[in-house]
Chains A and B, each alone.
Chain A
Amino acid sequence: MSETRDALTDYRRLLNALESRARRMGSRDAESAAQETLKRSLENAISQPAVEYYFSDELPPDAVPPAWPLDQLMAWLHGILHFVVLEEHNRSGNRREFSGWARGADARNRLDPPDPAPDQLDALIQRELQQIVIDCLPALDADYRRVLKMRASGLKYGDIAERLGVSENTVATWVSRGIRTLALSVRRRTQRHKAAR
């Protein structure tokens, strides 16, 4: 209980930001959705150090930078929040659907399916983000696709430059523009998602 209270105090600004996003996603209880998102992020062994490093009010002087870069953490937080809001919608839909015939313990069992384990949640979020990115790929020009594919398969900028006969700087620019173009489409898509709710 006191741990929860500490988290609420330490991450007040993050909670406010998540709450306003949850509201834009159509949550009817945005405050709870934000708290649930923070709770799940702090329970996960990989996201926890990143949340603490980037968002705690006071950073200890000996804090070690986390394995996750900031953008990866933000995508994760968005994914969790989206999932939590979906759960909320599903629960309210189920309540309407089942309230006529399910009562007592039976109703509780039906209305509150167990939360997925952190690994399953991770997989769900990955799958959703992955689908959004795949849907946005047609927006990319062939050149950008080619360099992004090479980069994604682990080639270094120098290797890509050699294969394509251009300078490393050119490769860096193409990669950067490719990611920016794709990110813009993803952003439009996630904003449409929020607006549609």
Chain B
Amino acid sequence: MNIDQFATRELSPADARKMAQQALDEPDLFDALVARGAVETSLKIPAVRAALSTPAPRKQWRLHFARWRPRGSS
């Protein structure tokens, strides 16, 4: 069983119960379920849907020359 099975709702309720028990011993799985639940729940909220409509910001690359120092100069 893994977290991706949640995306397509492949897990039966009984399997989900097993995963719930597994998550009690695995904090990473617990965290992953929390995050996925937050996303799934929020997608139903109009404010989040509206935010999805705003265009994604363009990635900006910045070069920090000012921070560069020759090796051994610090």
Contacts and interface: CB of A to CB of B under 8 A. Distances in A.
Interface in A126-179: 126, 129-130, 132-134, 137-138, 140-142, 145, 148-149, 151-153, 172, 175-176, 179
B7 to A, nearest CB: 4
Interface string B28-62: 00111111111111111101110111111100000
Interface residues of A, number: 51
> Chain A CB within 10 Å — which of B4, B20, B45 has the most?
B20
Nearest to B28: A187
Interface of A: 13-14, 16-17, 20-21, 53-55, 59, 65-66, 69-78, 126, 129-130, 132-134, 137-138, 140-142, 145, 148-149, 151-153, 172, 175-176, 179-180, 182-184, 186-187, 190-191
Interface in B1-36: 4, 6-9, 11, 13, 16-17, 19-21, 23-25, 27, 30-36
B30 A186 contact: no
Contact of B17 (A59, A78, A133, A141): A59
A13 B45 contact: no
B42 A190 contact: no
A69 B42 CA distance: 14
A145 B52 CA distance: 6
A149 B38 contact: no
Nearest to A133: B42
A184 B35 contact: yes
Contacts of A140: 56
Contacts of B49: 149, 152-153
Contacts, number: 143
Interface residues of B, number: 42
* Chain A interface main SS type: helix
A20 B45 CA distance: 30
A168 to B, nearest CB: 11
Contact of A179 (B25, B31, B36, B51): B36
A130 B57 contact: no
15 contacts: A13-B24, A13-B25, A21-B30, A69-B16, A69-B40, A71-B40, A75-B35, A75-B40, A126-B45, A137-B52, A138-B56, A145-B52, A145-B56, A183-B39, A186-B38
